[in-house]
């Protein structure tokens, strides 16, 4: 297993915010799979979904994970909310490093993503129902894909980062035994 920290979880679970804080505290570099894909494709995630479809986007995610596995270590990697759902990706994530699942409730997602227009899967009407359905389907898959689940509701970014760093230190110590 490599020594990166990978953050997985639903849209709005705080992967980027927590990831940046972790990278700052650990002096790791930070990357975000959505941002890397947008950079490579030279367009937004919404445009990729609209022009080429979700399946094409999922292929890009898998290819990117494979690339990250070849790359340097000591990174904090924030992932797109759907990336760990493919079985193959879940396996790749665990090879990349410590995979942390940021758990979030529907109400928090609703609050955080109010007015957001960048998530094609939550676009249009009945957003609450969409979140509910997707969460119910995905939660067990996130649990399987991660080494450790971390609850995030009602915790500060610093508290979440501290909990993850604690787990990371234990993992590193264990690896070196």
11 binds ligand S3P (CB under 6 A): yes
> Among 176, 158, 167, which Cα is nearest to 22's?
158
**Which residue in 5, 99, 104, 119 binds ligand S3P (CB under 6 A)?**
119
Q: How many CB atoms lie within 10 A of CB 159?
A: 13
Give CA–CA dist 52/54, Å, rounded: 7
19 binds ligand S3P (CB under 6 A): no
161 binds ligand S3P (CB under 6 A): no
**Which residue in 22, 23, 26, 45 binds ligand S3P (CB under 6 A)?**
45
3 state SS of 100? strand
Q: Could you tell me how many residues of this chain bind ligand S3P (CB under 6 A)? A: 10
80 binds ligand S3P (CB under 6 A): yes
Question: Among 62-70, 103-111, 114-122, 161-169, which window interacts with ligand S3P (CB under 6 A)?
Answer: 114-122
The nearer residue to ligand S3P, 47 or 66, going by C-beta atoms, is 47
34 binds ligand S3P (CB under 6 A): yes
DSSP state of 44: -
Question: Dihedral of CA 140/141/147/149: which sign?
Answer: negative
What is the smallest separation between the CB atom of 13 and ligand S3P, expressed in angstroms?
A: 7
20 binds ligand S3P (CB under 6 A): no
Give CA–CA dist 119/123, Å, rounded: 6
Residues 6+ apart with CB under 8 A from 44: 38, 118
Q: Which residues pair with 4 in a beta bridge?
A: 97
Give CA–CA dist 144/65, Å, rounded: 18
121 binds ligand S3P (CB under 6 A): yes
149 binds ligand S3P (CB under 6 A): no
21 binds ligand S3P (CB under 6 A): no
Contact set with ligand S3P (CB under 6 A): 11, 15, 34, 45, 80-82, 119-121
């Amino acid at each position: 297993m490599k020594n990166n920290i990978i953050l997985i979880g639903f849209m709005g679970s705080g992967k980027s915010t927590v990831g940046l804080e972790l990278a700052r505290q650990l002096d790791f570099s930070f990357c975000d799979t959505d941002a890397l894909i947008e950079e490579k494709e030279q367009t937004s995630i919404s445009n990729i979904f609209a022009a080429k479809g979700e399946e094409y986007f999922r292929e890009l995610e898998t290819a990117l994970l494979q690339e990250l596995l070849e790359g340097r270590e000591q990174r904090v990697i924030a992932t797109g909310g759907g990336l760990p759902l493919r079985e193959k990706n879940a396996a790749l994530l665990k090879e990349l490093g410590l995979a942390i699942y940021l758990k979030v409730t529907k109400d928090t997602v609703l609050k955080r993503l109010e007015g957001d227009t960048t998530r094609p899967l939550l676009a249009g009407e009945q957003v609450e129902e969409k979140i509910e359905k997707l969460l119910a389907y995905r939660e067990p898959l996130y649990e399987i894909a991660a080494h450790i689940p971390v609850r995030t509701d009602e915790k500060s970014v610093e508290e979440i980062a501290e909990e993850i760093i604690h787990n990371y230190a234990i993992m590193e110590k264990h690896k070196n035994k």
